[in-house]
Structure 1
Amino acid sequence: MKIKHTFLIALVLAIVSNLSLAQKKPIQNTSVPRPKLVVGIVVDQMRWDYLYRYYDRYSNGGLKRLLKDGFSCENTNIDYIPTVTAIGHSSIYTGSVPAIHGIAGNDFINQKTGKTMYCAGDTAVQTVGSTSTAGQMSPRNLLVSTVTDELRLATNFRSKVIGIALKDRGGILPAGHSANAAYWFDDQTGNWISSTYYMQQLPDWVKNLNAQRLPEKYLKQDWNTLYPMNTYAQSTKDDNRYEGKFSGTSAPVFPIKTSSMFEKDFGILRTTPYGNTFTFDCAKAAIENEKLGQNTVTDFLAVSFSSTDYMGHRFGPNSIEVEDTYLRFDRDLSSFLSYLDNKIGTGNYTVFLTADHGGAHNPNFLIDQKIPAGILPTSKIQKELNEALSKEFKESNIVVSIGSYQVSLNNSLIAKNNLDEAAIRTACVEFLKKRDDILFAVDVDKASEAAIPEVLKKRIINGYNKERSGVIQIIPKPGYFSGSPLGTNHGVWNPYDAHIPFVLMGWGIKQGSTSRMVKMTDISPTIAALLHIQAPNGNIGEPVVEALK
């Protein structure tokens, strides 16, 4: 008994001693390794080849730095159609496609009611920061979570998420449903505004930024080329027939007198490189005043640069205006990355850069170079298609829209008059297939069995949302697009619209590149994997694991 008693005493002493030693050991940091800040950059209408088209003239601190110090996915492609701004921003941040996330276009038709919906429109909220209606916006039409939402969920909403863009949809959709704020540009006042979805009044720092009247200051400088005109070797001569001109001007040439163009409103800022500079101004102010990157958890700034899209639409990819815009954007990006180095610390933040879509060369420019191209006259096609359907089915206006290369039918009319929808769809396809400017016309319900390449089948299926998309998908011939013969447009599957940049740099990112196929829907799960958080709830993509340390 004495031996057993002695043993028990020794055991108790040993346990107490070990507990004491354990208490003296330093407590190790058990927090999840993450960057202090993630900055997502979407450059609206940036073709992948813009990374290299102007490479020789980029600074060492901007796009060249991303390519040199970061990881570039050189073969990133959009995996749905149509390729437009709202869908692109939604798909980047959700890892999903219109079939699931519900953003079927910039505008789309509610197939039950026949009413047109704007992707971010929300009449249940009010503008904050202006008396205009430009703030009646929210992310409510987006049906799934974003990677920014998932970060908020993963940190019990301690992470700050802010979205910024001149376009409302470019700031709202990436920031997600649970964002702390999203800001966009109001043409009427020249101010950054928001909506009551996020706040009841603008923060003081936004009011102070607006009070600086930066759009007015930038526009008063006019717009001339950054370098001598004769050095823009990657562009067509300044005065040509491919470009659209500004209202009140005689030709689309430099110098552009922006100082006389904002009497009624400040919307002209969008179609100048100053729009990008102004967006960088807001991004820096948000980091500074919201103390992004100084949190106990990771913060996220989703910033989209919209002016590149307005510029592309007006002038086209081969214009001096677009070349000058990218050279200026690169210079601003270099300044912004240096700001992040100093404010957050080199290696403490992660940045990625991508695009929502690309843009085609101007069709008349291609024709002049003996390359097949043309304009798809969708209004004329809709009129002629309705005339043909009226003869066969004895009803007028059976087609209500041909938008985003999709045919939407008048479903209420078809139901009311007990028309044969299947027969109408077949008639539409047969009519469209006879046109010389259309490569394929596909009933989306039969896409999987259509006699078209597999890659197109998948993109049609991914892009079709039964509640918000048209039932016939039009595939124009390569080089053809709908819209104006001046400048450019986008929306189709071809590489000029669907091949986009995707470059990551900073915390947790390797140096290097890959030429394997990467999808736009892989961007969000890559960021989720980097942050050790759940992928968004509609995600169909896979992380680019070779980019991660």
Structure 2
Amino acid sequence: MKNHPTNGIPSLSRLLLISSLVASTSMTTTAAVALEKPSQPKLVVVLVVDGLPQEQVTRYRDQYTQGGFRRLLDQGAWYSDAHQAHGVTVTAVGHAAVLTGAYPYQHGIIANEWVDTRSRESMYCTQDGNYQYIGDETKPDDGTAPTNLRVSTLGDELRYGTGNRAKVITVSGKDRGAILLAGKTGTAYMYMKKSGAFASSSYYMQSHPNWVQQYQANRPQDRFYGQEWKPLLADSAYANDADDAIVSDAKDRFPFKYDSKSGKPDAEYYGKLLTGPYVDEMTLDFARAAVEGENLGRNPAGVPDVLGVSLSSHDYVNHAFGPESRMSHDHLQRLDRLLANFFTYLDKRVGLENTVVVLTADHGFPNTPEFSKSIKRDAQRINAKDLMSALNQHLTERFGTDKLAVKWSGPVVLLDYQLIAQKNLKREEVETAAARFLVSYPGIADAYTRTQLEQGALPATRIAKLMQRGWNRQVSGDIMVVTKPYWYFGSGNHGTSHGSPYSYDTNVPLMIMGKNWVKPGAYTDYAEVVDIAPTLAHLLRVRPPSGSEGRILKETLN
């Protein structure tokens, strides 16, 4: 059969040419789309919910709105087996881990407060008497600066890598929450319990910028005076929560009213606000003001910015009532709605397609001992003063010398090595005798001595590894103590606390959302909070923080 040429090109060849041109055009279009995809986010938002165990996030999942926690769960990557992987799980230590990627043995924040091994005076994690709050009263042990933080943060590296053009702003209901996220070169704002304002310190600046002054002038902290915190949902929604009679006194139940004896907003009222939903609402409102006041996510230099938000109130609620309570349950539902509104705001202002959002927690929470006992667990509080008295009595009987154990700096005992030397005693013998006594004390599971910790001669167990990471050679005391599960150091007959190496204290949410960089899904891989900093450093194309030991969560990245 004769070919019928068209413009000199055989029909079959022409079809192949057209197909090739179509494919080429398709590839060009795909390449153009790829080029349009932002290479790095314009804004990184790091949310830390103080005192939020992972199990609470999933336990109430069916009651969330579409835009808050559910948005993170559905549109982000989230890890069910993520942990604060150090042994002393408290606010300061957990916040320091988030953007340093480091463990306490490196970053130096070993607790919220500790006893200085030389002076034997108390040291608060973020105290520095050289600096004062701006426009607010400052006490000697108030948190004003990151002086005790020994390593850099993600924000520090981003600022360095962009010639200080990137902005790093943090806000929290607690000074340590803001300061330890901000690092050395960011700017921290914290809630002032006496005035109810958010303020910075003279470490960062001498006076507040205009946007902060305008925000403060409206006194948003006063708008909740006389309001009540009542359950958000129908009674049936709380059917699986602990009975109020188990977790609280009769006077500490819904509804909670926010007022004061003076009949007007004052320090009593501002302090009350922390245990409830309103300080978190104000924290997110202030974060919005910071986004606009600092133009975050629209940096004229074309570099990314970082916003750190630490939401403090869930910790206060869980301390007071336990994570099993309907108060904690309700608070998390309210926080869900606050987050939904905040994400909607970010989408309108910056665009979530330009934003990476991370949500995690500084620590989890055990149940109250009263609730644990009601479900047949072995659980109690341990009085540290009684423990130290019994320990010293035992050491006196053993070595003939009083007060060899000189200070308690939970969960660590400080020994008097000078006295031990004066009495010609052997340090290791005293340490070993103390540790052996401690493990025989009710509620104590184990104890590790300075000699063991210095030499790395601990048992090959997960808990020992976490405790080793939580001990700093220069800052920490001499014997680290581990309670039995569900026991903790404290007093009273209601409420609970945290700080152990057990999973209820270490297992926290870790969620990352950013559709241009992150693959959504539920991940069963083991992850740690210290993985956040190197992962974000990879996305921002800056070097990891100086003490970072986490891994890049590459399985989640596009």
Regarding TM over 0.5, the answer is: yes
Give me the whole-angstrom Cα distance separating, in 2, the residues matched to 1:457 and 1:488. 24
Answering whether residue 42 of structure 2 is matched by residue 36 of structure 1, we say yes
In 2, are the aligned partners of 1:236 and 1:318 still within 8 Å (CA)?
Answer: yes
Q: Describe the SS at the equivalent of 1:113.
A: coil
Report deviation, 1:234. Answer: 3.4
Q: Give percent identity, aligned residues only.
A: 36
**Correspondence for 1:190:** 196
Report deviation, 1:58. Answer: 0.5
**Correspondence for 2:258:** 258
The match for 1:341 among 344, 347, 350 is 347
The match for 1:170 among 177, 180, 184 is 177
**Correspondence for 2:480:** 473
**Correspondence for 2:496:** 488
**Correspondence for 1:294:** 298
Quick check: 216-225 or 525-534, which moved more?
A: 216-225
Give me the whole-angstrom Cα distance separating, in 1, the residues matched to 2:433 and 2:65. 55
Answering whether residue 509 of structure 2 is matched by residue 501 of structure 1, we say yes
Quick check: 307-316 or 395-404, which moved more?
A: 395-404
Unaligned residue ranges in structure 1 (runs of 5+): 1-27
Query: Aligned pairs, how many?
Result: 516
Give me the whole-angstrom Cα distance separating, in 1, the residues matched to 2:421 and 2:287. 50
Report deviation, 1:415. Answer: 4.8
Give me the whole-angstrom Cα distance separating, in 2, the residues matched to 1:476 and 1:149. 36
Give me the whole-angstrom Cα distance separating, in 2, the residues matched to 1:396 and 1:30. 73
Answering whether residue 229 of structure 2 is matched by residue 223 of structure 1, we say yes
- The residue correspondences of 1:290-329 to structure 2 (distance < 5 A) are 290-295=294-299, 296-329=302-335
**Correspondence for 1:242:** 247
Report deviation, 1:435. Answer: 2.0
**Correspondence for 1:25:** none
Give me the whole-angstrom Cα distance separating, in 2, the residues matched to 1:362 and 1:482. 12
Q: Describe the SS at the equivalent of 2:88.
A: coil
- List per-residue Cα deviations over 1:401-430 (Å, max 9, x = no partner): 333322122344445555432221111111
**Correspondence for 2:278:** 274
Give me the whole-angstrom Cα distance separating, in 2, the residues matched to 1:523 and 1:321. 30
Answering whether residue 461 of structure 2 is matched by residue 454 of structure 1, we say yes
Q: Describe the SS at the equivalent of 1:91.
A: helix
The match for 1:58 among 64, 69, 79 is 64
Closer, same or farther: CA 129–458 of 1 in aligned 2, 3 Å:
same
- List per-residue Cα deviations over 1:98-134 (Å, max 9, x = no partner): 1111011100122233222110000011221213438
**Correspondence for 1:523:** 532
- List per-residue Cα deviations over 1:424-483 (Å, max 9, x = no partner): 111111111212411112224325776745212211211110121122121111111111
Give me the whole-angstrom Cα distance separating, in 1, the residues matched to 2:451 and 2:159. 37
Give me the whole-angstrom Cα distance separating, in 2, the residues matched to 1:418 and 1:95. 43
Unaligned residue ranges in structure 2 (runs of 5+): 1-33
In 2, are the aligned partners of 1:219 and 1:269 still within 8 Å (CA)?
Answer: no
Quick check: 301-310 or 469-478, which moved more?
A: 469-478
**Correspondence for 1:83:** 89
Give me the whole-angstrom Cα distance separating, in 2, the residues matched to 1:305 and 1:492. 21
Closer, same or farther: CA 176–31 of 1 in aligned 2, 3 Å:
farther
Report deviation, 1:135. Answer: 6.0
Q: Describe the SS at the equivalent of 1:271.
A: coil
Give me the whole-angstrom Cα distance separating, in 1, the residues matched to 2:258 and 2:84. 35
Give me the whole-angstrom Cα distance separating, in 1, the residues matched to 2:121 and 2:138. 23
Report deviation, 1:228. Answer: 3.1
TM-score, structure 2 as length reference: 0.88
Give me the whole-angstrom Cα distance separating, in 2, the residues matched to 1:251 and 1:75. 37
Give me the whole-angstrom Cα distance separating, in 2, the residues matched to 1:360 and 1:338. 33
The match for 1:145 among 122, 143, 152 is 152
In 2, are the aligned partners of 1:148 and 1:175 still within 8 Å (CA)?
Answer: yes
- The residue correspondences of 1:312-461 to structure 2 (distance < 5 A) are 312-415=318-421, 417-446=423-452, 452-461=459-468
Closer, same or farther: CA 528–307 of 1 in aligned 2, 3 Å:
same
- List per-residue Cα deviations over 1:35-78 (Å, max 9, x = no partner): 01000000001000121111111000000000100101221112
One-letter code aligned to 1:519: E
The match for 1:160 among 161, 167, 180 is 167
Closer, same or farther: CA 415–163 of 1 in aligned 2, 3 Å:
farther
One-letter code aligned to 2:225: L
One-letter code aligned to 2:495: G
In 2, are the aligned partners of 1:183 and 1:194 still within 8 Å (CA)?
Answer: yes
Give me the whole-angstrom Cα distance separating, in 2, the residues matched to 1:538 and 1:31. 32
In 2, are the aligned partners of 1:215 and 1:278 still within 8 Å (CA)?
Answer: yes
Give me the whole-angstrom Cα distance separating, in 2, the residues matched to 1:67 and 1:289. 30
In 2, are the aligned partners of 1:404 and 1:491 still within 8 Å (CA)?
Answer: no
Q: In angstroms, what is the RMSD of aligned CA positions?
A: 2.2
